[in-house]
Amino acid sequence: MFGEVVFAHPKPQLRWNGIDVASPDFLQRSSTPGRATEAVCSASGLTFAGDISLHNRRSLCKDLEFAGDSTGSLCDGQIVLAAYVKWGQGTPEFLLGEFAFVIWDAKKRFVFCCRDHLGARPFVYFADRFRFLFASDARQLLASQSVPRKLNHQKLCSIAVPGGLKLYPGETFHAGIYSLQPGSSMVADVEGVRRQTYWRPEIRESLVPRRDEDVFPALGELLKRAVESRLRLSTKPAALLSGGLDSSSIVSLAARGLSAMNRSLIAISGVVSDEARSQVTDERSYIDEFQGVPGIDIDYVTAPGRGPFDSINTPGQFELSFFRSSRHYLYEALEAHAVTRGADVLLQGDGGEFGPTNWGDPYYAELALRGRWLTLFRLIRAVRRTEGGSPTRRLAGQLIALAAPWSKFQPHVLLNAEFLNSARSSAPMPRRRQRWPNQMSQQQSELLGWLDRSPIRLELPEPVTLRRSYPLLDKQVLEFCLALSGGYKIRDGYSRYPIRKALDGLLPPRIQWRTGKTAFSPDYYARYNRQRPLALKFVAGIGNRDPIRQIVDVDALSRLLQQPSLPDKGMIALSTIPATIYLICFLRQFSDFRP
């Protein structure tokens, strides 16, 4: 998705991928009835352009008095245009789905922009007095001669303070390039940009049924609808399957619906190679619980030769951000396999921790400080029986976190001491968390923080033939789960209880009641050590006068790379070292940080 509005032109008009959308041939060629992909369409003097998949088409068509649209003759963009004619800038409040779009009003000479509630579709933009550029990928903006490539120093400084990534919402690490926040809309014209928020997650206890026996079936129905709506019009769906609760729930729900139509789901799983299985345990035994289940076709992916330092000699791979998982190689291999199999949608389990698979923190501390000792004692005894470990240690950790929330904070990367001190003096400290524990409020706060950090998440462009979709990041599912008290999150000795109970009889029991999980890409440290010489050579090439040293503590990075890493002492190798190298790669795109 890439578009531009040039306000200085005598007749301002929207351009889509460089072509004037006023051309009838272009509109005919770009509008795809019923498709949940990029679309351009026009009606009532308005032009819609964007990437959209509506999940409430039926109710919208009813409200808009369309004749049912039973044949799917209308594309989602046409439905949104009709909604805009009726509700104007209040339209987003009536939409459910995954979308990022603009509506160009040629008569009023402004463009209305909108992004879905949870930010499933990226939307970045650049604006000045003469033009407004928008895209799903910041690389498209950076390729334009109208957009300067300049580091946002203020945003970079925010990584030095606890909670700093929530500062300067909407800003990216590129000065002048902004990300429209999830749940937000805006109007852009010759006068500038005016943003507004149409949705923020709230705790609405009225969403939860009064009878306890109705609560989990209600959640199960919401989860079922969330998955089915994301399969609409998919001809060959796929899903990532790790063997954990999140991905297994999605696969179970999707397969159930597809098998009823004599269709199947491609379940793609990352596992270690057969040669490495004698040394490293993966999730294959749990994944195999789905072998023979109707509607599921399992593919294993091993990503041979890949590792955390792939592409460090091609810094362009890190143009958007240095916030990339060190296990990105496996995610990329899984998506590439989905494309090879011809999949058109890839369901992923991201975001479950904000809703149906939330761990329930700080419910222990909430019970203790409210004096509900008998309930706490019973809970600790049950959890010790089912999950093992030390629930009392978990309680102590929650109490310490309340008393000193930032005591264990360390920057995500290795920063030069001078830059670190300067950044901490310039970046304001975020507001302190509430001191009185409340599990529901804590879950809401975590979700809000995740939404505020959306501009720094690496938002990769989707493959041409594949769209990513996130059923657990569903507005209605999340709002329902936010309204569940802590006693629903931890019950019968199990944390993450809502999804376990909501999918009772659907999830394989061995997965439904499991309490642990092998790390994603369990052979990570072997891959890290195999690529460590490449990283050492990369860091050794940074000279004493290299401007990178103004930001990064290169000497500390070099020392940490000297020794191989093992899983029991590997957190630095898992996160800090790769992230610091990714930061160097990111900074190299700016002229001020080239040797």
Range 132-155 average pLDDT: 92
* pLDDT for 430 beyond 70: no
The contacts of residue 530 (CB under 8 Å, 6+ apart) are: 307
Residue where the block lists tokens 């019009």? 233
pTM (two decimals): 0.92
Question: Quick one: which H or E segment has residue 533?
Answer: helix 524-540
DSSP single-letter state for residue 420: H
Supply the pLDDT for residue 391.
Answer: 87
**SS3 at position 372:** coil
**Worst-scoring range by mean pLDDT, 157-166, 262-271, 541-550?**
157-166
**Worst-scoring range by mean pLDDT, 209-223, 382-396, 515-529?**
382-396
Q: What are the tens digits of pLDDT across the range 326-367?
A: 999 999 999 999 999 999 999 999 999 999 999 999 999 999
* pLDDT for 523 beyond 70: yes
Reduced DSSP (H G I as helix, E B as strand, rest coil) percent helix, strand, coil of the chain, to 5: 40, 15, 40
Supply the pLDDT for residue 39.
Answer: 63
Supply the pLDDT for residue 435.
Answer: 61
Supply the pLDDT for residue 583.
Answer: 96
* pLDDT for 459 beyond 60: no
Range 153-165 average pLDDT: 90
Range 566-571 average pLDDT: 76
Supply the pLDDT for residue 550.
Answer: 96
Range 439-444 average pLDDT: 94
Range 511-527 average pLDDT: 93
Tell which wins on pLDDT, 512 or 32: 512
* Mean of all residue pLDDT scores within the chain: 89
The DSSP string of 251-274 is: HHHHHHHHHTTT--EEEEEE---G
- Cis link prior to 547 (omega < 30° from 0)? no
Q: What are the tens digits of pLDDT across the range 38-90?
A: 666 666 778 888 889 999 988 998 898 875 454 467 788 889 999 999 999 99
Start-end of H helices in 349-427: 363-369, 373-387, 391-403, 417-426
CB 137 within 8 A of CB 210: no
Q: How far apart are CA 583 and CA 548, in angstroms?
A: 9
Q: Which of 439-476 are b and which e, b meaning 16 or more Cβ less than 10 Å from the residue's Cβ?
A: bbbbbbeebeebbbbbbbbebbebeeebbbbbbbbbbb
